[in-house]
Structure 1
Amino acid sequence: MTKHSFFIAGTDTDAGKTLVSTGILEWGNRQGLRTLGLKPVAAGCDETPDGLRNSDALLLQQAASVKLGYDQVNPVALRPPIAPHIAAAQAGRALSADRLAALCRGSMMQPADLLLVEGAGGWRVPLSSREMLSRLPQLLELPVILVVGMKLGCLNHAVLTAEAIVRDGLQLAGWVANRIDPRMSCYDENLETLKGMFRAPLLGEIPHLAEPSAGAAADHLDLSVLLNH
């Protein structure tokens, strides 16, 4: 069974969830931990001879030290890069948090020290007209690591997302500042504002990376405060 499991949420699409997730996995690998990453649902997949494949899910699969088959890492792969519920409807499929949770639980039975379940889009991305993806970490009872895409407007996105996580009865375990806009005005002031507003620890501050990679992200991350509890 997994010792430490977290759900990776983002302030919005392209906040850097996968960069941070693979960075955390690589950080864990460097500590000698058995690491595992899951992407339960992914929209924006390419046709390959092996079936639909999502670039983010492939990066998670590659970064993890516990090797699973692609269908275990990303059990629901949807072709168009649009909201999952719309992509699923176009494919004639129905999404449900219960089904995604069951798929995750199967993979979570693997022996691992550090497991990440990466979300899709922002916290309230719909799975259907009745459910949000935020229901998944509730069902799995996972503490949340929030990736804040540092750009103009991030304060509002970050605070609203953190409030929603807590309102849903989940723990905001920590957060990561990922500088996606290298020209962001008053970056340091915005970072200090978030530090003052969040009770959760800052797990890392990733600068804008010319060549993003798991290793480059891992250099700026430290989850010791979470794993030593």
Structure 2
Amino acid sequence: MTRYFITGTDTDAGKTLVTAGLLALARSRGLSTLGLKPIASGCRRTGAGLRNDDALALMARSVPALAYETVNPFAFEPAIAPHLATRQAGTNISLAQLGEHVAPLLEEPRDLILVEGAGGWRVPLNDSEDLSGLATHLDLPVILVVGLRLGCLNHARLTAEAIRADGAKLAGWVGNLLAADFARDASLYADNLATLQHTLDAPCLGVVPRLSRVAPARRPEAAVAHLELPEGD
């Protein structure tokens, strides 16, 4: 059984695309899966309560199925940083609270469990803790999603340094092409990927091309062909 924490170089780097894609890849190989989004802001009001599209994507690719509240126990409506969303809601959430929910789920008999963070590695959870502390609190190796665009080398290296400085293991990284013009010069694009591979010093688990023409509900499945499952620890 393998368990990982998924983070990104920034908001919209493609964490959910990669997380759901890895879950879909595992399912295609007959493996049991579970995707968790412990805290999510940017939720929609529905008849069943607040729902987050990212959490729903993970839930849809988790087999055997679990209730939405298990996948995403803390949901907030405004699409802002978690500590600001909780403040607006008049509450406060700690790493201990998140850990109490997630830790028992990590013992589920699933072949692959992925815990998706919010924003980047340094996004605050409250006034004194970062959400990334959940990875170190639960001793989860980290998969980094690198949004491939101008500036990604700096963003990726700084994030990898922060992950390791916090005592977590960088188990691998995935490149997700955000800017089409970034790959226009094939040679330069390859050089950028080679630089990431060399400087991040962790296995590359895939490079996902731009999938903007693919229907949103199918994007994770479209990413499957470009991903590899981590080997485990």
Fold-level similarity (TM above 0.5): yes
1:63–1:214 Cα contact (<8 Å) kept: no
Equivalent residue letter for 1:222:
E
Q: Deviation per CA, 1:57-83, whole angstroms, max 9, x where unpaired?
A: 000000122211000000000110001
Where does residue 192 of structure 1 map in the other structure?
194
Equivalent residue letter for 2:221:
G
Q: Per the alignment, in what secondary structure is the counterpart of residue 215 of structure 1?
A: helix
**RMSD (Å), alpha carbons:** 1.1
Q: Deviation per CA, 1:196-227, whole angstroms, max 9, x where unpaired?
A: 1121100001011121511111111112x514
Where does residue 215 of structure 1 map in the other structure?
221
One of 47, 50, 56 as aligned partner of 2:48: 50
C-alpha distance in 2 between matches for 1:133 and 1:102: 14
Q: Deviation per CA, 1:80-136, whole angstroms, max 9, x where unpaired?
A: 000110010000110111100111123223220100000000000001111111111
Equivalent residue letter for 1:151:
R
In the TM superposition, 1:96-107 aligns within 5 A as 96-107=94-105
Residues 169-178 or 209-218, more deviating:
209-218
Where does residue 205 of structure 1 map in the other structure?
207
C-alpha distance in 1 between matches for 2:30 and 2:154: 37
C-alpha distance in 2 between matches for 1:31 and 1:169: 32
2:41–2:79 Cα contact (<8 Å) kept: yes
% identical aligned pairs:
52
Q: Per the alignment, in what secondary structure is the counterpart of residue 64 of structure 1?
A: coil
State TM-score, norm by structure 2. 0.94
One of 201, 222, 231 as aligned partner of 1:226: 231
In the TM superposition, 1:49-198 aligns within 5 A as 49-184=47-182, 186-198=188-200
State TM-score, norm by structure 1. 0.95
Residues 178-187 or 156-165, more deviating:
178-187
Residues 148-157 or 182-191, more deviating:
182-191
Q: Deviation per CA, 1:29-56, whole angstroms, max 9, x where unpaired?
A: 1111101000000010000000000000
Q: Which runs of 5+ in 2 are unaligned?
A: none
C-alpha distance in 2 between matches for 1:187 and 1:174: 20
C-alpha distance in 2 between matches for 1:122 and 1:63: 23
Q: Per the alignment, in what secondary structure is the counterpart of residue 156 of structure 1?
A: helix
2:5–2:141 Cα contact (<8 Å) kept: yes
Q: Which runs of 5+ in 1 are unaligned?
A: none
Q: Per the alignment, in what secondary structure is the counterpart of residue 127 of structure 1?
A: coil
Q: Per the alignment, in what secondary structure is the counterpart of residue 82 of structure 1?
A: coil
The structural deviation recorded for 1:190 is 1.3
Equivalent residue letter for 2:67:
G
Q: Deviation per CA, 1:136-193, whole angstroms, max 9, x where unpaired?
A: 1011100000000001111111000000111111110000010011111632221111
2:156–2:200 Cα contact (<8 Å) kept: no
C-alpha distance in 1 between matches for 2:177 and 2:50: 30
**How many residue pairs get matched?**
225
C-alpha distance in 1 between matches for 2:49 and 2:118: 20
Equivalent residue letter for 2:89:
A
